Amino acid sequence: MCASTNQRVTEMNRNDVKSKHAEGVTFDTHVIANPTNLKEWIVFFKKDAGRSYFLVDEREEVESFVHLDELIDELRELGIKNAEIHF
């Protein structure tokens, strides 16, 4: 994934996502192949002003999922209703 100089990529944990969603903040949610392990999937949130976020776990590491159905369940739990899947 290429990030331009105008785009800032950072991280959000589950609580951050739920909190932002409760505040009415919306994201374009993307599910992409993990660049370090193409058999896994990661979640990438795009927001206005060129900001992007990866979903991270409690250790602040990018959360990865082996099964798409588990990832979709996680997105539903976070209140996300739509996502694009890139493969």
What are the domain boundaries of the chain? 8-86
CATH 3.30.720 fits 8-86, yes or no: yes
Residue 2 scores a pLDDT above 50: no
Q: What is the 3-state secondary structure (H, E, C) of the chain?
A: CCCCCCCEEEEECHHHHHHHHHCCCCCEEEEEEECCEEEEEEEEEECCCCEEEEEECCCCCECEECCHHHHHHHHHHCCCCCCEEEC
What pLDDT is recorded for position 9? Answer: 63
Q: What local confidence, expressed as pLDDT, does residue 6 receive?
A: 46
pTM of the entire predicted model: 0.81
pLDDT digits (tens, 9 = 90+) for 11-64: 899 999 999 888 988 889 999 999 999 999 999 999 877 789 999 999 999 999
